[in-house]
Amino acid sequence: MPLVRVDIKKNPDPTFAKRIGEVIYAALRSEINVPEHDNFQVLAEHDDQHFVYDPQYLGIRRSDGIVFIQLTISEGRTVEMKQRLFQTIARNLNEQLAVRQEDVFINLVEVKKENWSFGNGIAQYVT
Protein backbone atom coordinates (compact mmCIF):
# COMPACT_ATOMS: atom_id res chain seq x y z
CA MET A 1 0.00 0.00 0.00
CA PRO A 2 2.86 2.48 -0.01
CA LEU A 3 3.35 4.99 -2.78
CA VAL A 4 7.00 6.02 -2.78
CA ARG A 5 8.25 9.26 -4.31
CA VAL A 6 11.98 9.88 -4.57
CA ASP A 7 13.49 13.15 -5.77
CA ILE A 8 17.21 13.68 -6.32
CA LYS A 9 19.50 15.96 -8.27
CA LYS A 10 20.49 14.60 -11.67
CA ASN A 11 22.98 11.80 -11.15
CA PRO A 12 25.52 10.63 -13.72
CA ASP A 13 24.60 7.02 -12.91
CA PRO A 14 21.31 6.30 -14.74
CA THR A 15 20.54 3.44 -12.29
CA PHE A 16 21.05 5.46 -9.10
CA ALA A 17 17.41 6.50 -8.51
CA LYS A 18 16.18 2.96 -9.18
CA ARG A 19 18.68 1.55 -6.70
CA ILE A 20 17.47 4.04 -4.09
CA GLY A 21 13.94 2.74 -4.70
CA GLU A 22 15.11 -0.84 -4.20
CA VAL A 23 16.68 0.03 -0.84
CA ILE A 24 13.47 1.77 0.26
CA TYR A 25 11.27 -1.14 -0.82
CA ALA A 26 13.42 -3.61 1.13
CA ALA A 27 13.12 -1.42 4.24
CA LEU A 28 9.36 -1.15 3.83
CA ARG A 29 9.12 -4.94 3.64
CA SER A 30 11.33 -5.56 6.68
CA GLU A 31 10.22 -2.74 8.99
CA ILE A 32 6.51 -2.15 8.37
CA ASN A 33 5.45 -5.46 6.82
CA VAL A 34 4.65 -4.29 3.31
CA PRO A 35 3.50 -7.29 1.25
CA GLU A 36 5.57 -8.74 -1.57
CA HIS A 37 4.85 -7.08 -4.95
CA ASP A 38 3.32 -4.00 -3.26
CA ASN A 39 5.90 -1.79 -4.92
CA PHE A 40 4.78 1.50 -6.50
CA GLN A 41 7.35 4.25 -6.97
CA VAL A 42 7.86 7.54 -8.76
CA LEU A 43 11.57 8.32 -9.15
CA ALA A 44 12.51 11.78 -10.39
CA GLU A 45 15.75 13.63 -11.08
CA HIS A 46 15.99 17.41 -11.18
CA ASP A 47 18.39 20.10 -12.38
CA ASP A 48 19.75 22.79 -10.04
CA GLN A 49 16.92 25.20 -10.84
CA HIS A 50 14.23 22.74 -9.75
CA PHE A 51 15.75 21.33 -6.58
CA VAL A 52 15.68 23.50 -3.47
CA TYR A 53 16.67 22.64 0.09
CA ASP A 54 18.13 24.41 3.12
CA PRO A 55 21.69 23.19 3.77
CA GLN A 56 21.49 23.57 7.56
CA TYR A 57 17.88 23.51 8.81
CA LEU A 58 17.67 22.03 12.35
CA GLY A 59 21.47 21.92 12.48
CA ILE A 60 21.75 19.12 9.94
CA ARG A 61 24.43 19.77 7.29
CA ARG A 62 22.95 18.76 3.94
CA SER A 63 24.73 18.48 0.60
CA ASP A 64 23.71 18.33 -3.05
CA GLY A 65 23.45 14.58 -2.52
CA ILE A 66 20.20 15.05 -0.60
CA VAL A 67 17.49 12.48 -1.30
CA PHE A 68 13.88 13.52 -0.75
CA ILE A 69 11.68 10.52 0.05
CA GLN A 70 7.92 10.79 0.46
CA LEU A 71 6.08 7.69 1.62
CA THR A 72 2.29 7.57 1.45
CA ILE A 73 1.04 4.61 3.49
CA SER A 74 -2.14 3.43 5.17
CA GLU A 75 -2.67 4.39 8.80
CA GLY A 76 -1.91 1.98 11.59
CA ARG A 77 1.85 1.70 12.12
CA THR A 78 3.28 2.48 15.54
CA VAL A 79 5.68 5.36 16.13
CA GLU A 80 8.38 2.79 16.88
CA MET A 81 7.83 1.06 13.52
CA LYS A 82 8.08 4.38 11.70
CA GLN A 83 11.25 5.33 13.56
CA ARG A 84 12.83 1.97 12.69
CA LEU A 85 11.81 2.48 9.07
CA PHE A 86 13.48 5.91 8.92
CA GLN A 87 16.64 4.55 10.55
CA THR A 88 16.81 1.51 8.27
CA ILE A 89 16.36 3.58 5.11
CA ALA A 90 19.04 6.10 6.14
CA ARG A 91 21.50 3.41 7.26
CA ASN A 92 21.01 1.21 4.19
CA LEU A 93 21.24 4.10 1.72
CA ASN A 94 24.50 5.04 3.40
CA GLU A 95 25.91 1.51 3.46
CA GLN A 96 24.75 0.42 0.01
CA LEU A 97 24.86 3.63 -2.04
CA ALA A 98 27.14 5.96 -0.03
CA VAL A 99 24.34 8.46 0.58
CA ARG A 100 25.20 10.52 3.65
CA GLN A 101 22.65 9.90 6.42
CA GLU A 102 22.36 13.68 6.83
CA ASP A 103 21.11 13.76 3.23
CA VAL A 104 18.20 11.37 3.75
CA PHE A 105 15.04 13.50 4.09
CA ILE A 106 11.88 11.43 4.67
CA ASN A 107 8.26 12.58 4.83
CA LEU A 108 5.64 9.99 5.74
CA VAL A 109 1.98 10.66 4.87
CA GLU A 110 -0.66 8.39 6.41
CA VAL A 111 -4.06 7.92 4.79
CA LYS A 112 -7.14 5.82 5.49
CA LYS A 113 -7.34 2.52 3.59
CA GLU A 114 -10.46 3.67 1.75
CA ASN A 115 -8.34 6.30 -0.03
CA TRP A 116 -6.57 3.80 -2.31
CA SER A 117 -7.57 2.52 -5.73
CA PHE A 118 -5.04 0.22 -7.38
CA GLY A 119 -6.92 0.11 -10.68
CA ASN A 120 -10.29 -0.36 -12.33
CA GLY A 121 -11.79 2.54 -10.37
CA ILE A 122 -12.27 0.28 -7.33
CA ALA A 123 -11.25 0.98 -3.74
CA GLN A 124 -9.82 -2.49 -3.17
CA TYR A 125 -9.32 -2.04 0.58
CA VAL A 126 -12.95 -1.10 1.25
CA THR A 127 -14.83 -4.05 2.68
Residues catalogued as catalytic:
2
Pick from 105, 23, 27, 30: which is nearest to 60 by CA? 105
- The identity of residue 34, as a single letter, is V
Calpha distance 41→26 (Å, rounded): 13
Calpha distance 5→21 (Å, rounded): 9
